[in-house]
Every structure is written in C-alpha cells, then in structure tokens.
C-alpha cells in the first residue's frame, strides 16, 4: 500500500503535506481502498475553522459513510471542488488529484506530532 515518505498521517487515515504555514489534506490510499468506490465527498466552506480531531466533512462510498477528521487546527484556504463531480479521484489518486483541503496551520510545529510514514505503515499493517 502506497504511503509516501514526505507526508504526515493521523490514526484516522488522513494525510497532510505541509509547506511552512500551509498544508494540504486528504485521505490515504489505505483508507480509499477500505472505503471502496467513493461516491460523494462533503467538504467545508473556505474560511471554516478546523479544530484538531474534529470532523470537517464526510465521505461516502458504495459500502459506507464516514466522517473526515481534521489532522490539525487551522483555517480552510481552499477545497478541491473537482471532488463534487469526480469523487472517484479519491480512489484513483488519493495523494494527488484526490486532495481535499488546503489549510493555514495555526501552529506549524503541530505537524511534528502526527505520525510519519513508517509509523503509519506499521499501523495499517497491524490492522
């Protein structure tokens, strides 16, 4: 299962690609595979405040529906509008075109408290 080295991860299977004060958020290839074909993604409006660990949206697949959890506290700068018409991008390219949010991170240091690729890989292999 693809777990890119340059990302940080949550136990709820979100990833963050941080670049200074900004970060991009999505869900992992493992999560997309577990969900199966994604049919709907509900994302917050630009400007929404995120608190770490709280739900920021929802994702639905043919199998199930699940909440999406914010990896970090911050503010939504942009959302991936393409997912409203092409939710399948989450399955086909979870770390690229299937991104969900671009956020301003309140505390850039908080990224270090998320799991690195090795820790996340260990987690999903144990599941």
Identify which of residues 7 and 41 has a Cβ nearer to other proteins in the complex: 41
* From candidates 1, 4, 21, 40, binder to other proteins by CB under 8 A: 40
Among 6, 4, 10, 2, residue whose Cα is nearest residue 32: 2
User: What backbone torsions phi and psi does residue 104 show, to the nearest 5 degrees?
Assistant: -95, 120
Side-chain-side CA neighbours of residue 46 (13 Å): 6
Side-chain-side CA neighbours of residue 91 (13 Å): 15
Supply the minimum distance, in Å, between the C-beta of residue 87 and other proteins: 6
* From candidates 71, 87, 94, 98, binder to other proteins by CB under 8 A: 87
Q: How far apart are CA 1 and CA 104, in angstroms?
A: 29
Identify any residues that bridge with 39 across adjacent strands, giving them in sequence order: none
- Site map 41..80 versus other proteins, x via CB under 8 A: -------------------x-xxxxx--------------
Identify which of residues 7 and 59 has a Cβ nearer to other proteins in the complex: 59
The contact set with other proteins (CB under 8 A) reads 34, 36-37, 39-40, 60, 62-66, 87-88, 127
């Amino acid at each position: 299962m693809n777990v890119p080295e340059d990302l940080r991860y949550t136990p709820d299977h979100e990833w963050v690609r941080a670049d200074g004060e900004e970060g991009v958020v999505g869900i992992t290839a493992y999560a997309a595979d577990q969900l199966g074909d994604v049919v709907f993604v509900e994302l917050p409006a630009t400007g929404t405040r995120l608190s770490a660990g709280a739900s920021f949206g929802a994702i639905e697949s043919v199998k199930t529906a699940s909440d999406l959890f914010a990896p970090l506290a911050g503010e939504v700068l942009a959302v991936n509008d393409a997912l409203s018409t092409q939710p399948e991008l989450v399955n086909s390219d979870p770390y690229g075109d299937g991104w969900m949010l671009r956020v301003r991170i309140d505390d850039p240091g908080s990224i270090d408290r998320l799991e690195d690729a090795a820790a996340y890989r260990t987690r999903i292999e144990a599941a």
